[in-house]
Structure 1
């Protein structure tokens, strides 16, 4: 059986920032939130394993990993230029790189819209007032459905 790794969500965010820089772009905290979540969902769907050890929460503006939010909160809506050298395993790096190349051009509000669609894990959990954990089984089922359909109308 192949060993796999899970990472802190902040390490995945650092990897996203590294790949963004390599691809000539930058991300805001809002973009990092959504893209970290997407990477986690894709890992669950493609490799049947979580990418991050942190819980993902349903907040008003979509899925949020609090540790990433608080680590990069000081940037507000500005682009994050800070870098940290973090290496993930090959499969995980591949997911992060693909997410940056396929979704890195989307703005924070566009990513919020995609994660808020009817039927999304966020939509299934959010009750309008309370921050609740979005269980991995919901995220995995959702991203497995996206993988099978080939359509990404909702993230």
Structure 2
């Protein structure tokens, strides 16, 4: 299991690369990072049977949130900022774990080019957020049960 900020650093480094190579790329925002973390956790629960990071996902007004990440980036819209050695090391560590890298890259490829607003609207249509009271933890069971039919495991890659 990884620290949630290692996963955030992976997202920041990946987005930083996009910003340098794709003129249409948008900087990763706090809201978008929250939604990507939610989908990363969901994919990890389905594919591996366990969390990628220990932090709970909480149902807030604008969708799923990891409170520690919200606190770290409070009052910041874009969160890429300067990519330091720690961020690069976190990226490399996660990339070197094949199963983790597959999950992260798949989620980023599927959802990473959607806007934060579009991802928020999408999470609002999904049962785990809809069926959890505001400010309550969205249970791993709700997440896994909903996403087991969304994230299909390729049996050839097991």
How many residues matched?
A: 138
- Structure 1 stretch 133-142 or stretch 23-32: which is displaced more? 23-32
Equivalence map 1:20-59=2 (5 Å): 20-24=15-19, 25=25, 26-59=27-60
Q: Which runs of 5+ in 1 are unaligned?
A: 1-5, 149-155
Aligned position for 1:105: 113
* Structure 2 contact 73–79 (Cα < 8 Å) conserved: no
TM-superposed CA distance for 1:79, in Å, is 5.1
Please point out which of 84, 90, 104 is paired with 2:98. 90
TM-superposed CA distance for 1:23, in Å, is 3.4
Q: TM-score, normalised by structure 2?
A: 0.79
TM-superposed CA distance for 1:73, in Å, is 2.0
Q: TM-score, normalised by structure 1?
A: 0.81
Q: Which runs of 5+ in 2 are unaligned?
A: 20-24, 153-158
TM-superposed CA distance for 1:14, in Å, is 0.9
TM-superposed CA distance for 1:90, in Å, is 2.2
The RMSD of aligned alpha carbons is: 1.6
